[in-house]
Structure 1
Amino acid sequence: RYVYTTLDPDLQAAAEAAVESGMEYVDQQLKPTRQGTRQKEPPLPAGQPQVALVALDPHTGEIRALVGGRNYATSQLNHALAMRQPGSVFKPFVYAAALNTSIAGGSQIFTPASILNDSPTTFVFDGKGYSPGNFKHEFMGSVSLRQALAHSLNVATVQLAQQVGYAKIVALARRAGLNSGIQATPAVALGAYEATPLEMAGAYTAFANSGERVSPTDVTLVRAADGSILYESRPDPQPVLDPRVNYLLVSMMEDVLTSGTGAVARARGFRLPAAAKTGTSHDGWFAGFTSELLCVVWVGFDDNRELHLEGARSALPIWTEFMKRASKLRQYRDAKPFRSPSGIVPLRICPDSGQLAGPYCPRTVSESFIEGTEPVVQCQIHSPGTLEVAQPLIEPAGSEGNSADRLRTDTPTSQPAQLPQ
């Protein structure tokens, strides 16, 4: 038999090089520092952090590169197949379910400009209180869906999940291929239910492929010795999101890179049009894609010890280095901007009210809406006598260590023992 795999040797080499340099950076950050001395740093605690990288063609699901660990001699486990909490890498599914209301015809419709309240909140589920928090216990107050996803705000996300309905989020995640024990509880909003890096990469193909999911595959063709075809891989796209909903979500995920928790990728020199999401649980995650390539990176310990590094400081540098190397290869360098489908309406709005921009609004932004859901009322919170609205309290976009999705939460007894960030 002759087996033809999907791996791209050049891209595989890029993945291995990115993992090697990136894990050196992770090790360096984890070593205790001794300021003012020249003493040799002690070794890392027993057991090095591990890594997984999965890169797919988002249109076919073909695995172009895969790294299952940092050193096969020390660990034979393929971490791309290991179940871990994805943390905020799961959040796009919450926001996608919310945006689905734009086409569902219900009484409550969410758009990227809809306003959420990011403030200390106790949610009640199954008779128990649940009080998630944000990094450094800082809250932004009134924020749009776009801002909440870009800065990975936990309280706003759980509030959104509660309003949309946990069951709708679970149903969407399952359509995307995340079937491993996800339950309709508040924990789902922050990515508490486990998935493998390969599963997450497969689920993200829906975002990178105009709302259609394709299953990951590592074999294209199997031939018998006589030349007859025994197996041939054929993409079988499955609808997950309406293309209009998907476009809005992807545009929000682009902001993760331009002004949100993943902005350090741009600072590190990655320039192609892309959309992404950071994630932090006990581990670090980063998932992102261009029009031609999708990549998910996970970093963590085998024994589930806390990494103490956000996704922006552990997985993101590996993702960025890999994507920069990939962008030098002919088949991946011509990534195109994400196209707007028909039925999308661009408007100038006031980000504080989510309404049409008025002459007294101190700031205006361009926002996209599904036709029929765009605001029709001019901003009602700014008038000639209005002082400029204070800006939300956030740290500089993309600075390493400020990831807004790094959190600690008080977990209700009915939830998994530790909620991720």
Structure 2
Amino acid sequence: MTKTRYNAQEAPYFMEMVRQYLDERYGSNQIYEGGLKVHTTLDIDVQHAAEESLERRLTALEQRNQYKKTRAALASKSEGSPARDRNQTEYLQGAVVSMDPASGQILALVGGRDFNDSNFNRAIQAARQPGSAFKPFIYTAAIDNGFSPTDIILDTPVSFRAGNGEDWSPQNYDKKFRGPVTLRNALANSVNVPAAKLLQKLGISVVTSYAKRMGIKSRLTPDLSLALGTSEVKLDELTSAYGVYANQGVRTTPTFILKVEDKNGKILEESHTTAEEVLSPETALTMTSMMESVFENGTAASARALGFSAPAAGKTGTTDDYSDAWFVGYVPGVVTGVWVGFDRKQRIGPGMTGAAAALPIWVDVMMAATKDRPAQDFPVPSGVVSRLICTETGLLANPACPSTEIELFREGSEPTGYCNVHTGTAKPPTETPDFHETDTEAPPDERLKL
């Protein structure tokens, strides 16, 4: 590896990450004078697609929102000006991480729009609020502890007693309440109130333990607002954690170096996949099925209009002030995460959700990552069963049900009763039994449904 000017270098954020690792392990003399030969995990086609899409899509957002400070405008003013802080910029930024979830190999990594202007690597260094992109961890804990995608929870006004003694009332994005909703539909449409109720029912420590085991290393605040994604995380750890779903419950350690040789060809180190099963294949597949609904009739449905037609699962994330936009999603074999926002927290613009700002970049990157891969369905493990259910009640469908669908369940969690609403004699559906928010001031861990 020889010294190279970064403006002439491929994948500068990725290569700087490699350089820092080699410097810590072998020392600068060995890097620049010893003649190391480094084999990395980078897929240059995916990397180019990520860099091109990030710049093109963010430029379009700058034009759409008519920012006073854009990358182009600030670049023209900075020519010949004194050096400034290279950690933060004043214009719209973004980051991309794409990985192979089975091996942990990083296929592409973009830490910002211009390394020469800012060498701060937003893909691995920036801690930001993920918004609803955190919700899958709540639903994972629920599925793993006896809930099913068809369980019904009431999307109705609720207040919780916060740790400071004040009441907290979560609101939905559209300020509306939907009444009875299934867990699947609540996740697909990113409804906040059911997520908060579910977090309270499960217990904060239970949910955070799932997030940690799946790869979240950032500190998570033990508060019910965690349901809305208020605790900051980093893009690389969130992307890696979603990779657990894509890899049938197995977490792999992210890696960016395949092999290092000295100038004589002696192998100094060689990567080996480190893997650990942290979820059952049944829970992972059930969550994947639920997040497929995000694409089919949820917040990421626009991905289909953008041209991405392969089976996929994922989740949007948007902070309540539109300052952070996320999308993390996957297909069998590839998981990609995208973040968009400003370094100094400010509003991206009205309606700048994860679907509007981050999802189009994700589509571009995944189109490149899958261009030589035939579209395939997610594998179904033997411990998952399917049933025809009534979409209104979440119970087994009978011939009178007007809307039905095939639903997947962890074996043993499937409904056993038939719909009794579409017979003309029963009441409308209510919450699944034992899912009422009673005793909301009690420690949440005491109300876990097993």
Q: Aligned residue for 2:386?
A: 346
Q: Secondary structure of 1:357's match?
A: coil
Once residues 282 and 407 of structure 2 are traced to their aligned partners in structure 1, the CA distance between those partners, rounded to angstroms, is 14
The residue identity in structure 1 corresponding to 2:92 is P
Of 25, 30, 34, the match for 2:65: 30
Q: Aligned residue for 2:113?
A: 70
Of 138, 152, 156, the match for 2:190: 152
Q: Aligned residue for 2:46?
A: 11
Q: Secondary structure of 2:264's match?
A: coil
Paired residues for 1:154-169 under 5 Å: 154-169=192-207
Q: Aligned residue for 1:97?
A: 141
Kindly state the Cα deviation for residue 194 of structure 1 after the two structures are TM-superposed.
1.0
Is 2:343 the partner of 1:302?
A: yes
Kindly state the Cα deviation for residue 287 of structure 1 after the two structures are TM-superposed.
0.4
Of 261, 268, 273, the match for 2:306: 268
Is 2:307 the partner of 1:286?
A: no
Once residues 160 and 276 of structure 1 are traced to their aligned partners in structure 2, the CA distance between those partners, rounded to angstroms, is 20
Once residues 72 and 224 of structure 1 are traced to their aligned partners in structure 2, the CA distance between those partners, rounded to angstroms, is 28
Contact 2:327–2:358 (CA<8 Å) still a contact in 1? yes
Of 358, 365, 388, the match for 2:405: 365
Contact 1:345–1:371 (CA<8 Å) still a contact in 2? yes
Is 2:178 the partner of 1:131?
A: no
1:140-185 Cα shifts (integer Å, max 9, x gaps)? 1100000000000000111111111111110011101212111332
Q: Secondary structure of 1:276's match?
A: strand
Contact 1:170–1:183 (CA<8 Å) still a contact in 2? no
Q: Aligned residue for 2:129?
A: 85
Paired residues for 1:372-411 under 5 Å: 372-384=412-424
Of 334, 341, 354, the match for 1:311: 354
Kindly state the Cα deviation for residue 205 of structure 1 after the two structures are TM-superposed.
1.3
Q: Aligned residue for 1:199?
A: 237
Identity rate of aligned residues, in percent?
42
Q: Aligned residue for 1:212?
A: 250
Once residues 425 and 200 of structure 2 are traced to their aligned partners in structure 1, the CA distance between those partners, rounded to angstroms, is 36
Paired residues for 1:164-203 under 5 Å: 164-203=202-241
The residue identity in structure 1 corresponding to 2:378 is F
Q: Secondary structure of 1:294's match?
A: strand
1:340-377 Cα shifts (integer Å, max 9, x gaps)? 10021111111222111123322112111111221111
Work out the number of aligned pairs and report it: 370
Kindly state the Cα deviation for residue 43 of structure 1 after the two structures are TM-superposed.
5.7
Paired residues for 1:106-125 under 5 Å: 110-125=147-162
Paired residues for 1:47-66 under 5 Å: 47-66=90-109
Contact 2:218–2:234 (CA<8 Å) still a contact in 1? no
Contact 2:311–2:377 (CA<8 Å) still a contact in 1? yes
Kindly state the Cα deviation for residue 386 of structure 1 after the two structures are TM-superposed.
7.3
Contact 1:264–1:312 (CA<8 Å) still a contact in 2? yes
> Residue 345 and residue 111 in structure 1: after superposition, are their counterparts in 2 closer, same or farther (change >3 A)?
same
Q: Secondary structure of 1:374's match?
A: coil
Kindly state the Cα deviation for residue 128 of structure 1 after the two structures are TM-superposed.
2.8
Of 360, 364, 387, the match for 1:321: 364
Q: Aligned residue for 2:438?
A: none
Once residues 25 and 386 of structure 1 are traced to their aligned partners in structure 2, the CA distance between those partners, rounded to angstroms, is 53
Q: Segments of 4+ in structure 1 off by > 4 A?
A: 42-46, 385-389
Q: Aligned residue for 2:396?
A: 356
1:247-302 Cα shifts (integer Å, max 9, x gaps)? 00000001101110000011111011111100012210000111121110000001
Contact 1:362–1:388 (CA<8 Å) still a contact in 2? no
Contact 1:265–1:317 (CA<8 Å) still a contact in 2? yes
Superposed CA RMSD: 1.9
The residue identity in structure 2 corresponding to 1:289 is Y
**TM-score, length-normalised on structure 2?**
0.79
Once residues 111 and 43 of structure 1 are traced to their aligned partners in structure 2, the CA distance between those partners, rounded to angstroms, is 47
1:76-99 Cα shifts (integer Å, max 9, x gaps)? 211112111111111111100000
Once residues 43 and 11 of structure 1 are traced to their aligned partners in structure 2, the CA distance between those partners, rounded to angstroms, is 29
The residue identity in structure 2 corresponding to 1:238 is E
Once residues 21 and 388 of structure 1 are traced to their aligned partners in structure 2, the CA distance between those partners, rounded to angstroms, is 49
Contact 1:161–1:186 (CA<8 Å) still a contact in 2? yes
Once residues 43 and 168 of structure 1 are traced to their aligned partners in structure 2, the CA distance between those partners, rounded to angstroms, is 43
The residue identity in structure 2 corresponding to 1:257 is F
Unaligned runs of at least 5 residues, structure 2: 1-35, 75-89, 430-450
Q: Aligned residue for 1:106?
A: none
Contact 2:132–2:316 (CA<8 Å) still a contact in 1? yes
Once residues 149 and 48 of structure 1 are traced to their aligned partners in structure 2, the CA distance between those partners, rounded to angstroms, is 32
Contact 1:283–1:300 (CA<8 Å) still a contact in 2? yes
Unaligned runs of at least 5 residues, structure 1: 33-41, 103-109, 390-421
1:65-118 Cα shifts (integer Å, max 9, x gaps)? 11111122332211112111111111111100000113xxxxxxx100000111
The residue identity in structure 2 corresponding to 1:180 is S
The residue identity in structure 1 corresponding to 2:380 is S
Q: Secondary structure of 2:53's match?
A: helix
Contact 1:360–1:384 (CA<8 Å) still a contact in 2? no
Contact 2:216–2:237 (CA<8 Å) still a contact in 1? yes
Deviates more, 1:10-19 or 1:110-119: 10-19
Once residues 215 and 303 of structure 1 are traced to their aligned partners in structure 2, the CA distance between those partners, rounded to angstroms, is 30
* Larger-Rg structure: 2
Contact 2:393–2:421 (CA<8 Å) still a contact in 1? yes
